[in-house]
């Protein structure tokens, strides 16, 4: 027998997350429940992951069906769901070919590798540099952390992977620097999510695309948080009227089931030949069943139009809150990815909201991040407004 006094009080989990004192055990639609039966309105969507809400029926049905047949097989064999999902992504984007992986970080890692391989194999150019931007976030693998333009993410992990150069987001001067650097690729977000919910300026993006095309620089867009309808269109690049060479996708693609992908033009994608890249679990039958059901529903249900209407109502609501509370300095974002700028008190607002059974997030100390599911009803927007108002009143 073990003495009670000798039992370790150390958690078996590494302390990589600052967890809230809530244990979630169930979810449906816009709501989650904890182990005590308490209900919360979830306007985090798993950080832009559960875009169809929790446990959406169309995805649940396809996963249950697939569970009866085949869970996993190697990518050395053809996988029908994978083929069908790739075809649907290609049909509804600029791209020609898809590579599947397990997460957003892996998708960006694949994009970075593809950019280097394209430059060195297809263009026969000794080039590997990728331009990213300050305050960006591209993942936590060693390479994607190195691509991320935030020192706080990189502290304690030096030396970084070489080959990345950070320019200033939305800065015209950065475009002149880009011409001089002439890198293999540019990787950027159309809304910097973790960096403070900062949308890219339309004219700046247009000029960036023009420079890339003129100088044969790959234009790669990180759509991990902005994709799958989050900003009002299937992907955010559509609203900017540009055509990237590569985009990275994850989060909302599987409605909470782990899946990631890069979509690329054929000329670029052919740099990946057999053996050049791979993933054991990427695009397996279960993951692609979830992705296929999610994408089909987004494309056929009218949800994208509904989400635009919901976003318009949310904009009005947040504008009214800004007029009511002086601590709100600005509202920014795109579609159903919104940031409330509150100097230094974002964590306090999130805690006050939690006390009202409302789940929201920060994007740094100065920004409260709002990410409702695309399926959120107007009644749920009203409920959110009431709870958030109480949170601000209690500050």
CATH code at position 173: 3.40.640.10
Last residue of a domain, one of 254, 280, 300: 300
Residue 133's pLDDT band (boundaries 50, 70, 90)?
very high
Neighbours of 273 (CB within 10 A): 9
Band (pLDDT 50/70/90 cuts) for residue 226 is very high
339 and 331 Cβ atoms separated by less than 8 Å: yes
Same domain as 293, residue 157: yes
Q: How far is 291 from 387, CA to CA, in rounded Å?
A: 33
Domain count for the chain, please give it: 2
So what's the pLDDT on residue 1?
45
Q: How far apart are CA 85 and CA 91, in angstroms?
A: 10
Contact assessment for residue 363 and residue 221, using Cβ atoms and an 8 Å cutoff: no
**Which CATH number is 385's domain given?**
3.90.1150.10
3-state secondary structure 303-347: HHHHHHHHHHHHHHHHHHHHHHCCCCCEEEEECCEEEEECCCCHH
Task: Give yes or no: residues 261 and 244 share one domain.
Answer: yes
pLDDT digits (tens, 9 = 90+) for 318-336: 999 999 999 999 999 999 9
Domain that residue 184 falls in: 57-300
| Cα–Cα distance, 342 to 392 (Å, whole number) | 10
Q: Do 308 and 275 have their domain in common?
A: no
Examine the fold and report which residue of 300, 323, 343 is the final residue of a domain before the chain moves on.
300
Contact status, residue 197 vs residue 338, Cβ threshold 8 Å:
yes
What confidence score (pLDDT) does residue 7 get? 64
230 and 84 share one domain: yes
Q: Do 373 and 389 lie in a common domain?
A: yes
Mean residue pLDDT of the chain comes to: 96
- Asked whether the beta carbons of 139 and 112 are under 8 A apart, the reply is no
Evaluate if residue 6 carries a pLDDT over 80: no
pLDDT of residue 130: 98
d(C-alpha 323, C-alpha 320), whole Å: 5
Q: What percent of the chain has pLDDT over 70?
A: 98
Cis peptide before 159 (omega within 30 of 0): yes
Distance of alpha carbon 144 from alpha carbon 158, whole angstroms = 13
Statement: residue 2 has pLDDT above 70: no
Q: 68 with 122, same domain?
A: yes
The conformation of residue 148, written as its DSSP 8-state character, comes to S
Where does a domain end: 300, 319, 346? 300
Residues 216 and 292 in one domain: yes
Residues 194 and 257 in one domain: yes
What's the pLDDT score for residue 58? Answer: 98
> Are 88 and 164 members of one domain?
yes
Q: Give CA–CA dist 27/84, Å, rounded.
A: 28
Does one domain contain both 173 and 64?
Answer: yes
């Amino acid at each position: 027998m073990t003495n009670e006094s000798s039992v370790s009080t150390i958690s078996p989990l590494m302390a990589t997350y600052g967890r809230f004192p809530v244990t979630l055990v169930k979810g449906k639609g816009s709501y989650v429940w904890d182990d005590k039966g308490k209900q919360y309105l979830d306007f985090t969507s798993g950080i832009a992951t559960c875009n169809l809400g929790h446990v959406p029926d169309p995805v649940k049905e396809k996963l249950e069906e697939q569970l009866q047949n085949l869970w996993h097989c190697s990518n050395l064999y053809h996988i029908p769901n994978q083929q069908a999902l790739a075809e649907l992504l290609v049909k509804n984007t600029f791209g020609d070919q898809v590579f599947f992986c397990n997460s957003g970080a892996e998708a960006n890692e694949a994009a970075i590798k593809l950019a280097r391989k394209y430059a060195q194999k297809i263009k026969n150019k000794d080039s590997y540099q990728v331009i990213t931007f300050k305050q960006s976030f591209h993942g936590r693998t060693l390479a994607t952390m190195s691509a991320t333009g935030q020192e706080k993410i990189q502290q304690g992990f030096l030396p970084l992977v070489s080959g990345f150069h950070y320019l200033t987001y939305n800065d015209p001067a950065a475009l002149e620097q880009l011409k001089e650097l002439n890198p293999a690729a540019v990787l950027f977000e159309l809304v910097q999510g973790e960096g403070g919910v900062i949308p890219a300026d339309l004219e700046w993006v247009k000029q960036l695309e023009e420079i890339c095309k003129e100088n044969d620089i790959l234009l790669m867009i990180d759509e991990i948080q902005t994709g799958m309808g989050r900003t009002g269109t299937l992907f955010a690049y559509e609203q900017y009227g540009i055509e990237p060479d590569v985009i990275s996708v994850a989060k909302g693609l599987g409605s909470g089931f782990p899946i990631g992908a890069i979509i690329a033009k054929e000329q670029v994608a052919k740099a990946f030949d057999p053996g050049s890249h791979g993933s054991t679990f990427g695009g397996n039958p279960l993951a692609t069943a979830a992705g296929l059901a999610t994408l089909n529903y987004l494309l056929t249900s009218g949800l994208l139009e509904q989400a635009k209407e919901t976003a318009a109502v949310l904009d009005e609501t947040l504008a009214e809150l800004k007029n009511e509370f002086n601590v709100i300095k600005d509202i920014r974002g795109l579609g159903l990815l919104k940031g409330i700028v509150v100097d230094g008190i974002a964590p306090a607002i999130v805690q006050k909201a939690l006390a009202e059974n409302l789940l929201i997030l920060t994007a740094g100390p100065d920004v409260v991040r709002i990410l409702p599911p695309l399926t959120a009803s107007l009644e749920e927007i009203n409920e959110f407004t009431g709870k958030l108002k109480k949170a601000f009143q209690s500050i």
